[in-house]
């Protein structure tokens, strides 16, 4: 769609991400993923959002994905999930945004790393937003649960943040332990407990 004809959209959301990397995720530092390949997931709970005249308030959407090497090398596979309570016009709006067709960061960049995108699924989202102790259930297909990273000696909770001024998914986030990172989706079937997690708030627009 030509830039001049793109529908304006914006959203403010809580964002949650979990993957198979060690804490901090070297991908955030332009380094290869910990095991050499990437498998993970993310979900947004929209607090306030619009696509043209369509309200996106209080809706959820997310993804499960894998890449055979570093994300920027592409050839990834992704499954997209959208809130089943979304009305038809809201579903279309979310798909336009998440597919990158509506333009705007981070989606127009992320989609260029996928060579295969599985058909969209409309499922219930269950968010427990409790800071570092948040959790997300994406239908019966994926789940994330977080907790603070513990000091290995004292067992006390660590307070760790990453500030990534040039980041396009988030500019800053709490670094946490994803005690649950589990997906059960066709080619995307994995579980990585106690690996990297991020919890943050984001603002996007085209």
Ordered mean pLDDT values, 10 residues apiece, the chain (206 residues): 74 98 93 96 98 98 97 95 98 97 95 95 98 97 98 95 94 98 96 98 97
H helix runs in 60-177, sequence order: 88-98, 107-110
Residues 6+ apart with CB under 8 A from 78: 63, 64, 65, 114, 116, 117, 118
What is the model's pLDDT at position 30? 87
What is the model's pLDDT at position 204? 98
What is the model's pLDDT at position 3? 53
Per residue in 67-100, is it b (16+ CB within 10 Å) or e — as a string? beebbeeeebbbbbbbbeebeeebbebbbbbbeb
Strand pairing report for 76-83 and 114-123: parallel
CB atoms within 10 A of CB 136: 26
98-104: which pairs have CB atoms within 8 A and are 24 or more residues apart? 98/61, 98/63, 101/1, 102/1, 102/6, 102/7, 102/9, 102/51, 102/206, 103/1, 103/3, 103/6, 103/206, 104/9, 104/204, 104/205, 104/206
pLDDT in tens, 31-44: 999 999 999 999 99
Nearest to 82 by CA among 118, 46, 123, 116: 123
The domain ranges of the chain are 8-205
What is the model's pLDDT at position 194? 98
Beta strands in 60-113 (DSSP E): 60-67, 76-83
Q: Which residue has the tokens 């993970």?
A: 40
What is the model's pLDDT at position 97? 97
What is the model's pLDDT at position 2? 52
Residues 6+ apart with CB under 8 A from 94: 51, 56, 59, 61, 82, 83, 86
CA distance to 87, 116, 203, per residue, from 28 (Å): 35, 23, 18
Q: How far apart are CA 173 and CA 186, in angstroms?
A: 30
């Amino acid at each position: 769609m030509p830039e001049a004809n793109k529908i304006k959209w914006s959203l403010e959301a809580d964002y949650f991400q979990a993957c198979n990397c060690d804490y901090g995720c070297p991908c955030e530092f332009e380094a290869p993923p910990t095991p050499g390949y990437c498998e993970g997931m993310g979900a947004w709970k929209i607090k306030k959002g619009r696509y043209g005249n369509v309200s996106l308030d209080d809706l959820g959407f997310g993804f499960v994905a894998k890449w055979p090497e570093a994300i920027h090398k592409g050839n990834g596979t992704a499954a997209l999930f959208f809130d089943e309570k979304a009305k038809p016009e809201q579903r279309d709006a979310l798909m336009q945004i998440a597919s990158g067709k509506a333009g705007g960061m981070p989606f127009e960049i992320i989609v260029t790393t996928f060579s295969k995108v599985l058909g969209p699924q409309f499922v219930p989202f269950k968010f427990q937003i409790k800071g570092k102790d948040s959790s997300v259930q994406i239908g019966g297909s994926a789940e994330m649960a977080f907790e603070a990273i513990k000091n290995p000696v004292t067992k006390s909770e660590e307070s760790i943040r990453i500030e990534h001024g040039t980041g396009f998914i988030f500019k800053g986030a709490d670094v946490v332990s994803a005690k649950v990172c589990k997906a059960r989706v066709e080619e995307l079937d994995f579980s990585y407990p106690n690996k990297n997690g991020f919890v943050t708030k984001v603002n996007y627009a085209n």
